[in-house]
Homo-oligomer: A and B are copies of this chain.
């Protein structure tokens, strides 16, 4: 059994209020040196079989269909 990660992030041009809220709060908590924060999602998929080319292509379709909204988000897939 293989494990595959799908990282989903908002496109750079899409506003990320959650990330901005975190970034604004950091100095108040004494944390300096962070210019910006972006918040996204991480999915770990456990496959029945190996993470071969066919499986990764299937994961790509899953990411497009269910895990990311291609209009506002990008995703990256990598095997663990």
Contact = CB atoms under 8 A, between A and B. Distances in A.
Contacts of A40: 41-44
This chain: copies in complex: 2
Contact of A29 (B32, B37, B59, B65): B65
List of 6 A-B pairs having minimum Cβ-Cβ separation, nearest first = A36-B46, A42-B42, A40-B42, A38-B44, A35-B46, A33-B48
16 contacts: A8-B42, A22-B66, A22-B67, A25-B66, A26-B62, A26-B66, A31-B58, A33-B49, A33-B55, A33-B58, A34-B45, A36-B46, A37-B44, A40-B42, A40-B43, A41-B42
Interface of A: 1, 7-9, 19, 22, 25-26, 29, 31-49, 55, 58-59, 61-62, 65-67
